[in-house]
């Protein structure tokens, strides 16, 4: 089963509109030379989304993601942003369950599950992040942690067609330490088997599973060449147009 790669930049709390415009000035020129077929996604802060969407007019094939969304519809929820607002702004994907949301902001599997369902109901596509800490991996809990995150995070989600999964080992995020291609492949294969148990083999064969954790141009080809790795979610190396484009270039083999 061939799955189109999806390569996404998570800008986190970086790049206001001016910095994003400077990135796109360079990136939109570079992308004209890109021969690969990967889906390309940029995830700016909420504040920067409208200027990125406006600037992408004339810079084809790039979709926009938000880094979070409210599970609420509207009303007295200070500081939140709704799925309807994101749709109106031109967003297509929503990153959910990132380890920073889980560990710093206390998002539980239940909260993430509510956000996944809200996102899908609005016609947006969740990039649903899962991953274990080093302590969990070394303590032999890798499989149980991932199984719980998947089972609880996707509870009552009937159809995975619009869901992208991002496997991001917490110990590899922003640390410069990357899972080896073999470790990442083994874990992606396991994640796909959990999906097969829950949704059946054809859904498991179709679902795209990105790897995230210190992906850079130098390691992208090896990681993205693994049979169960269907793309990358990139933090640090996506802040510069040149290195993010370098990852894309290493995705077309
Ligand atoms: C991330 O935050 O999703 C991420 C993978 O970051 P980095 O590439 O910097 O490890």
Quickly state the pLDDT bin for 1 (edges 50, 70, 90): low
Mean pLDDT of 88-96: 98
Give the position, in ligand 1's atom list, of the atom nearest the Cα of 172: 10
Give the position, in ligand 1's atom list, of the atom nearest the Cα of 12: 2
Q: How far is the CA of 234 from the centre of ligand 1 (A)?
A: 5
Q: How far is the CA of 99 from the centre of ligand 1 (A)?
A: 10
Mean pLDDT of 48-76: 95
Indicate whether 59 pLDDT > 90: no
Q: Output the six-digit token pair for 228.
A: 């169960």
Taking alpha carbons only, the member of 112, 67, 72, 66 closest to residue 88 is 66
Mean pLDDT of 168-177: 91
Q: How far is the CA of 212 from the centre of ligand 1 (A)?
A: 6
Give the position, in ligand 1's atom list, of the atom nearest the Cα of 168: 5
Mean pLDDT of 126-149: 97
The pLDDT score that the predictor gives to residue 168 is 97
The pLDDT score that the predictor gives to residue 30 is 93
The angle subtended at Cα 167 by Cα 28 and Cα 151, nearest 5°, is 130
Mean pLDDT of 205-218: 97
Is residue 168 within 6 Å of ligand 1 at its C-beta?
A: yes
Q: Output the six-digit token pair for 222.
A: 């090896």
The pLDDT score that the predictor gives to residue 23 is 97
Q: How many residues does the chain have?
A: 253
- Is 188 designated active site? no
The angle subtended at Cα 102 by Cα 227 and Cα 149, nearest 5°, is 50
- In three-state secondary structure terms, 40 is strand
């Amino acid at each position: 089963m061939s799955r189109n790669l999806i390569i996404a930049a998570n800008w986190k709390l970086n790049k206001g509109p001016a910095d994003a415009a400077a990135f796109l000035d360079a990136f939109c020129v570079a992308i004209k030379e890109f021969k690969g077929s990967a889906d390309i996604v940029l995830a700016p802060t909420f504040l920067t989304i409208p200027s990125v969407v406006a600037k992408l007019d004339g810079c084809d094939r790039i979709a926009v993601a938000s880094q979070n969304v409210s599970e609420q519809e509207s009303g007295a929820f200070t500081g939140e942003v709704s799925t309807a607002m994101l749709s109106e702004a031109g967003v297509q994907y929503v990153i959910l369950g990132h380890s920073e949301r889980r560990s710093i902001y206390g998002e539980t599997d239940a909260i993430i599950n509510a956000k996944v369902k809200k996102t899908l109901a609005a016609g947006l596509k969740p990039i649903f992040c899962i991953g274990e800490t080093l302590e969990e991996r070394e303590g032999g809990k890798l499989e149980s942690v991932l199984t719980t995150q998947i089972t609880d995070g996707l509870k009552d989600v009937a159809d995975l067609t619009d869901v992208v999964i991002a496997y991001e080992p917490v110990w590899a995020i922003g640390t410069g330490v990357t899972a080896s291609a073999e470790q990442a492949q083994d874990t992606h294969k396991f994640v796909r088997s959990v999906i097969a148990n829950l949704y059946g083999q054809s859904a498991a064969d179709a679902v795209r599973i990105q790897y995230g954790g210190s992906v850079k141009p130098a390691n992208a080809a090896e990681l993205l060449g693994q049979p169960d790795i269907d793309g990358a979610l990139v933090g640090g190396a996506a802040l510069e147009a040149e290195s993010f484009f370098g990852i894309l270039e290493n995705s077309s083999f």
